[in-house]
Amino acid sequence: MTSKIVKRSAMALIVTLLLAGAAAAPTAYALDCAPPPAPERELGYAELVFKGTVTKQDADRVHFDVARLWKGTAGRVVTLSASDWVMFDTGGEYLVFASNMDGRTEPLLCGNTGLASLEAEQALGEPIPLSTAPERAAGIGIVVGAVLVLGVVLVAAVLVVLRYRRVARRSD
């Protein structure tokens, strides 16, 4: 009989402690970010860093007029995939740290993307002039295109020479 009382008392004590522990536990959230890294550190791993004004938003995209560019290739307009974690207000000026995720360019999670500040801009250093950013990309495209055209012409010339030799041997 005594062992039953001890077992029941022990069970009651365990249940009481579990309930008290559950009541005292802090609220858990699905996403709780640590403080963001320094902007210059995030610049190191972001693929695209710019300052821009939100001009338009729809269900899955946010459109920016770019004022300054620190990393990546961008023209005057950048469109990002919308994120449920980073909110933008149309007309607001933001400093954006983004990367390509599954084929979509999105703001980095738990980073420095937010309203633009002079302090963060200064930490990033000198921006890339916007007028040269697209030219760099276009310049690379022109070089690749020229190499491809030259390659096609070279292959065509080799095929013509081989065909000419084959025809010349048959006529001998």
121-170 tens-digit pLDDT: 999 999 987 754 443 333 444 555 555 666 777 777 777 767 777 777 77
Q: Do residues 89 and 54 touch, judged by C-beta distance below 8 A?
A: yes
H/E element holding 51?
strand 48-57
- Average pLDDT (21-44) is 74
Dist CA 111 CA 40 (whole Å): 11
Dist CA 72 CA 137 (whole Å): 10
Specify the pLDDT at position 138. 38
What's the gap between Cα 113 and its chain centre?
11
Q: Do residues 70 and 127 touch, judged by C-beta distance below 8 A?
A: yes
Percent share of the chain, pLDDT over 70: 68
SS3 104: strand
Dist CA 96 CA 87 (whole Å): 11
Between 159 and 118, residue with greater pLDDT:
118
* pLDDT greater than 60 at residue 22: no
Q: What is the pTM of this model?
A: 0.59
Q: Give, in order, the Cα–Cα distances in Å from 155 to each of 80, 148, 159.
A: 41, 11, 6
SS3 28: coil
